[in-house]
């Protein structure tokens, strides 16, 4: 039995999220179905990061086990079976006890906003035509790295035993006509990145100052955060694993 790992990209607007939800269209269901057809046996995959409806991924990872031997050509075959909104970028082998969720060292997300109306960015970034206090926006992003409890940015109903996360990077950057928020952490809570983005943008629009932003974090009350930013502006863009954990397939 070999454990294989797939790196996927997908358009989140086509799916009701990444994780299996019965018969609803999800990334994991599409992947399981395509693998089951390819391998001619039922296949169940396990994902590294759960993304909500509308959220895109440049690199999310799934692992599964099979006794069959896969090679580089299997990637071409699998992509032919998957919907156009999903692509297998790379395939790997891993140790039998490797787990894409629990062995991940960090995950990095990017949220994209733009001010000037652009029909080509619809459902790819958030149209946000408001004046922003950029120094305050930068200050709120930097402030997050001083905290480890992010209960204020976890949506109600999240099934988690702890709200503790370690944020490694948190900053805003200009990218052409866009303003983008980049955040990297060891783990994320349900709705956390959108909550971070929405709450920072409210501060930058003058709704409250930096001290109030700190109080929202310390309150551990999600009703004080703003989760309104749409999912389609959010991208899971990188997951890091221990060096040498993912092994290339033979050609």
Q: Which residues are designated catalytic? A: 52
| The pair of three-digit structure tokens given for residue 243, joined into one six-digit string | 């060096």
CB atoms under 10 Å from CB of 158, counted, come to 13
H helix or E strand, kind and range, residue 5: strand 2-10
CA-CA distance, 20 to 30, in Å (whole number)?
9
For the chain, the residue count is 251
CB atoms under 10 Å from CB of 102, counted, come to 9
Q: Where are the alpha helices (DSSP H) in the chain?
A: 27-39, 72-81, 134-143, 192-204, 210-219
Query: For the chain, how big is the Rg over CA atoms in Å?
Result: 19
**Residue 48: how many CA atoms within 13 Å on its side-chain side?**
26
> Read out DSSP for 67-108?
SS---HHHHHHHHHHS-TTEEEEEEEEE-TT--TTTT--EEE
């Amino acid at each position: 039995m070999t454990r294989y790992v797939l790196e996927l990209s997908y358009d989140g607007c086509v799916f009701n999220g990444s994780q299996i939800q019965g018969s609803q269209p999800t990334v994991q269901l599409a992947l399981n179905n395509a693998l089951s057809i390819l391998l001619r046996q039922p296949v169940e995959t396990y994902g590294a990061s759960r993304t909500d409806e509308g959220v895109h991924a440049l690199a999310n990872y799934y692992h599964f086990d099979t006794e069959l031997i896969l090679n580089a050509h299997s990637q071409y075959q699998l992509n032919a079976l998957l919907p156009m909104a999903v692509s297998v970028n790379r395939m790997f082998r891993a140790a039998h006890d490797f787990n894409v969720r629990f062995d991940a060292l960090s995950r990095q997300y990017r949220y994209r906003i733009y001010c000037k109306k652009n029909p080509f960015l619809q459902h790819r970034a958030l149209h946000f035509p408001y004046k922003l206090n950029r120094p305050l926006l930068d200050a709120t992003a930097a402030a997050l790295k001083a905290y480890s409890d992010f209960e204020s940015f976890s949506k109600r109903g999240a099934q988690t035993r702890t709200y503790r996360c370690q944020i490694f990077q948190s900053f805003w950057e200009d990218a052409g006509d866009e303003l983008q928020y980049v955040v990297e952490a060891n783990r994320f809570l349900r709705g956390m990145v959108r909550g971070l983005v929405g709450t920072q943008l409210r501060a930058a629009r003058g709704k409250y100052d930096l001290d109030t932003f700190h109080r929202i974090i310390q309150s551990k009350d999600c009703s004080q955060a703003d989760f309104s930013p749409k999912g389609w502006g959010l991208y899971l863009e990188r997951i890091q694993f221990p060096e040498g954990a993912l092994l290339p397939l033979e050609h």
